[in-house]
A and B are shown apart, each in its own frame.
Chain A
Amino acid sequence: MYPPRLRYVAPKSLDEAFAVMAEYGDDAKVLAGGQSLVPMLKLRFASPAVLVDINGLSDLAYHRAESDGSLRIGALCRHVDLERSALLPGRYPTMAAAAPQVADPIVRNRGTVVGSLCHADPQGDWASVLLALNGQVVVAGKDGRRTISVADFVVGPFQNSLAAGEIAVEASVPAAKGTPYGSYLKLERRVGDFATVGVAVAIETSGLQISRAGIALTGVGPNTIQAIEAEQALIGQALEPDVIARAAGLAAGAARPRSDHRGSAEYKRHVVETFVRRALSSYRLAVPA
């Protein structure tokens, strides 16, 4: 397996990077973690004219909680950084649950969260996690920056909404307004396997009531799927068994799985329902004082 001929540029600043991106347009590809891109090159599924390696832009290697409670993840934040982060548990439970389940430990050392979002693989884990959390992506180019919701950023299988010349520089998760609870349940046969089914659940509560709900699904459709009706069925409700069952059923209904060697469509739909129910049933809501 050998990549095709290509050019390589390692800019020293974002501005330099934007300049190269502008010059090559759609023929340029940003190289961050490279854990999806390099295999694509080796399999010759991708053959960009130039790779713009942003690994030298160490300013992008961050994740931090802002004073408003939002979480910002720079384009060079590796999966392992989140896996080991002390920031996540408690405050961003869905992120904390997902981080160790991405790929395998060595890939996590290199791969990036923002890169995964850009890759837009319907079997990728981060897109559904960020979708459930109402996340956003900051994209930038020589003409400036814009912020796109993850829902609008991941537009199709292996398609994002970056314009030619743009680079995704940051992902962010808004602050929780209530008490956050979250899970990422993934059915995989072995470490490093793609999800047969992945379910990201993120809720916030105010007292015993759900004030915000996010449910998104991995690997059960042509895209990452946001289970909007299931989310809505939770708003304003307490986590009672019937509420949970209804949301789980609606989430399963939102799935668009195909039968393949990982499982039948019915099975995957059933697992979505099971996982949503299990996630929601696992939360022990703090009783307001």
Chain B
Amino acid sequence: MTDAADEHRITVTVNGEPHAVEVEPRLLLVHLLREGLRLTGTHIGCDTTNCGACTVLYDGTPVKSCTMLAVQADGHEITTVEGLGSLSELDPVQEGFTIEHGLQCGFCTPGMMLTAKALITNNPNPSEEDVRWGLSGNLCRCTGYQNIVKAVLWAAAKQHGHVAETNGQGTTVSGRT
């Protein structure tokens, strides 16, 4: 049984790397990641567990890291955007987001991509409807979502080794007139 002392010593694996840290019980997981470990790719949007900007993978499952305490990560594995692909080799989801212009300001993007990553891992052949449903816990203000959906479908196709024919071709139906 963990004691109830002021600071808790926890071990958490973030992006494959174990960290032993002292945390105050009230510290939110997102603050441990951002301030304690300086992984600032995980963002904070709202106060009420609605926006999903802070989404990370917790033992592979998307969670809103503003709605968990850091102590709850003791003994668990966290994946943040910094652990999605590497600098040189992008994850298909990252590639899809840039190819299909699935981001503008970039603030919701890390959370959106991690949700997408879990989504196509669990469902390698999602329909557009599956993607829209699966992303409905993450808010975006810039894109209108259509390109995000395309990005995720692109990533799913890439994961199978075949890239969608329409990649990066844009949306406008008619040619220039």
* A-B contacts at CB below 8 angstroms, number: 101
Residues of A within 8 A of B69 (CB): 3, 8, 31, 34, 38, 51, 53
Q: Considering only CB atoms, which chain B residue lies closest to A110 in the complex?
A: B63
Cα separation A105 to B123 with both chains bound (whole Å): 14
Of A39-47, A161-169, A174-182, A240-248, the stretch lying at the interface with chain B is A39-47
Q: Are A1 and B47 neighbours in the complex by a CB distance under 8 Å?
A: yes
Stretch from B48-56, B91-99, B147-155 at the A interface:
B48-56
With contact pairs A8-B4, A8-B25 given, residues A106 and B55 touching in the complex (Cβ less than 8 Å): yes
With an 8 A cutoff between CB atoms, is A155 at the interface?
A: no
A105 to B138, CA, bound (A): 9
B residues near A5, Cβ cutoff 8 Å: 24, 26
Closest CB in chain A relative to B51 CB, distance in Å: 10
Tier of interface size on chain A = 35 or more
User: Provided the pairs A43-B47, A106-B55, A192-B50 are in contact, do residues A55 and B138 lie with their beta carbons within 8 angstroms?
Assistant: no
Q: Given A105-B136, A192-B137: A7 and B68 within 8 A (CB)?
A: no
- Check A105/B137 contact, CB under 8 A, given A2-B28, A8-B69, A41-B26: yes
Interchain CA distance A8-B7 in the complex, whole Å: 9
Given A2-B28, A105-B137, A106-B63: A16 in contact with B1 (beta carbons within 8 A): yes
Tell whether, in the assembled complex, residue B49 and residue A3 are in contact, meaning their CB atoms are under 8 Å apart. no
**Complex-state Cα separation, A43 to B66, whole angstroms:** 12
Contact A105 B28 (CB under 8 A): no
Which residue in chain A gives the minimum CB-CB distance to B64? A106
Residue pair B2, A106 in contact (C-beta under 8 Å): no
Contact of B48 among A7, A9, A20, A39 (CB under 8 A): A39
A contact face: mostly helix, strand, loop, or mixed: loop
Of all chain A residues, the one with the shortest Cβ separation from B132 is A191
Residues on A with C-beta less than 8 A from B158 are none
| A206 / chain B contacts, CB cutoff of 8 Å | none
* B72 beta carbon closer than 8 Å to chain A: yes
Interface residues of A (CB under 8 A from B): 1-12, 16, 20, 31, 34-35, 38-39, 41-43, 50-51, 53, 55, 103-107, 109-110, 190-192
20 A-B pairs with C-beta separation under 8 A: A3-B69, A4-B26, A8-B2, A9-B4, A12-B1, A31-B72, A38-B28, A38-B67, A38-B68, A39-B49, A41-B26, A50-B4, A51-B69, A104-B52, A104-B136, A105-B115, A105-B137, A107-B137, A110-B63, A192-B50
Task: Give the 10 A-B residue pairs with the shortest CB-CB distance, closest first.
Answer: A104-B137, A8-B25, A106-B137, A191-B136, A1-B47, A3-B26, A7-B4, A10-B2, A38-B67, A105-B137
